[in-house]
Amino acid sequence: MKLAESGFIMLYILKNYDPNYILTPTDPNEQLEVEYWLHYSEGSLQHLQMALLINSVAKHIAPVGLKSVANLVAKGLNNGYYVHEWRLHMQYCNDRLEQNGTGFFVGNKLTAADIMLSFPIYENIFDNLEGVKDCTRDKRDLRKVWPFLDKWCRMIKNIPSYKKVNQMMDEEVEDLIALNPRFDYAKGEANKP
């Protein structure tokens, strides 16, 4: 069997490899909430971030004569829709953490919901605040705008197993770069000798 879509893959792992409810709540209502957040992460939040990123990059990679047009179009799209929607979703996530009151998205312990949301919220935003400011043109301190998300991100990044997984991933990337030193991963193309 081939599995696709990270939310579905996480559900499969939970149902087949989490019999002790380590990342799954025992309460059926909380299990449903976890499933919601697994799908919310990619279905509602990440596509907005991708659009902001693509529009931000478009102005830099457009042909010389079209850079100002690309910048104008990207700015219009972002300001007219994507930034507003992204802020609404970030506020929704911040409000959820405040409402739950435990420091976690569901229940009173780390669940798969927290793990799934760590990428779009911690990795993409709170670990990349300058990049986010460039994409959104929002100069506010987002840690103060969304204090519950900031506190959650600080908790997530300090979980020992999270640190270990990130270290392993960094080592894998370093190995990949060492195997392909002529490949520019930022540009997705081979460097000329």
Structure tokens at 178: 């060492």
Residue 191 lies in a domain: no
Domain range for 60 is 6-179
> What is the pLDDT confidence band of residue 191, given thresholds at 50, 70 and 90?
low
Q: What is the pLDDT of residue 1?
A: 85
Across the range 83-100, mean pLDDT stands at: 98
Q: Does 150 fall in a domain?
A: yes
Q: Is residue 184 part of a domain?
A: no
- For 109, other C-beta atoms within 10 Å of its C-beta total 14
Region 27-39: what's the mean pLDDT?
Answer: 98
Residue 106, number of CB atoms within 10 A of its CB: 25
CA quadruple 74, 77, 78, 79: dihedral sign? positive
Number of domains in the chain: 1
Query: Could you tell me the pTM of the whole model?
Result: 0.84
Which CATH number goes with the domain that contains 109?
1.20.1050.10
Question: 172 falls in which pLDDT band (50, 70, 90)?
Answer: confident
β partners of residue 113: none
Question: Is residue 186 in some structural domain?
Answer: no
In a domain, 189, yes or no: no
Decide if 41 contacts 119 (C-beta within 8 A): yes
Please give the residue that has the higher pLDDT: either 59 or 129. Answer: 129
Q: Which helix (H) or strand (E) holds 83?
A: helix 83-100
CB burial readout 66-82, b (16+ within 10 A) else e: eeeebbeebeebbeeeb
Give the pLDDT confidence score for residue 68 in this predicted structure.
86
In-domain check, residue 100 = yes
- DSSP 8-state symbol, 119: I
Question: Could you tell me if 34 and 117 are in contact, meaning their C-beta atoms sit under 8 angstroms apart?
Answer: no
* pLDDT tier, 184 (very low <50, low <70, confident <90, very high otherwise): low
Whether the pLDDT of residue 137 is over 90: the answer is no
Reported as a single tens digit per residue, the pLDDT across 116-136 is 999 999 999 999 999 899 889
**Is 57 inside a domain boundary?**
yes
- Mean model confidence pLDDT for the chain: 90
